């Protein structure tokens, strides 16, 4: 497809379960970002990849959050032992590796932890 693809679109998890969220970026985009967006807030940065290298993971809220992009294309964000405060929309975005390159967002995964 032409855009950033995320799956699943919605995920309901019971507290304590592990979840995995997938992102397929735009072909040719070197940079890939994960953001977390709570209701009524702007997106908050989680982590950033350049190809397969994770260059910045300063936004990951705890060691329960883990992201990978092993072949430099598809990325997975994994949340272990989910908590209610993890409930949010998780947005993936990709871009070219240039300062003037905007981020293109996927439709997001809405995670609800019950």
Partner 1 sequence: QKEVEQNSGPLSVPEGAIASLNCTYSDRGSQSFFWYRQYSGKSPELIMFIYSNGDKEDGRFTAQLNKASQYVSLLIRDSQPSDSATYLCAVKAGNEKLTFGTGTRLTIIP
**20-28, 64-72, 74-82, 92-100 -> range binding partner 1 (CB under 8 A):** 92-100
Residue closer to partner 1 (CB basis): 40 or 70: 40
Show contacts with partner 1 in window 45-64 (CB under 8 A): 45, 48, 55-56, 59
Q: Exactly one of 67, 91, 111, 113 binds partner 1 (CB under 8 A); which one?
A: 91
Under the binding rule (CB under 8 A), the answer on residue 97 touching partner 1 is yes
**DSSP helix/strand/coil, 95:** strand
* Residue 92 CB partners (closer than 8 Å, separation 6+): 4, 6, 21, 23, 25, 32, 33, 34, 35, 75, 77, 105, 106, 108
Nearest one of 23, 39, 43 to 92, comparing CA atoms: 23
Applying CB under 8 A, which residues contact partner 1?
31, 33, 35, 40-45, 48, 55-56, 59, 91, 93, 97-108
């Amino acid at each position: 497809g032409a855009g950033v693809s995320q799956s699943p679109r919605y995920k309901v998890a019971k507290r304590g379960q592990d979840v995995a969220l997938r992102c397929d970026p735009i072909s040719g985009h070197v940079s890939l970002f994960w953001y977390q967006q709570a209701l009524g807030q702007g997106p908050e940065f989680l982590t950033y990849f350049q190809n397969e290298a994770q260059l910045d993971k300063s936004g990951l809220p705890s060691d329960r959050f883990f992201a990978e992009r092993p072949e430099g294309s598809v990325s997975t964000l994994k949340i272990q032992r989910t908590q209610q405060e993890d409930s949010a929309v998780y947005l993936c975005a990709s871009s070219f590796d240039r300062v003037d390159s905007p981020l293109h967002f996927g439709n997001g995964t809405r995670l609800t932890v019950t």
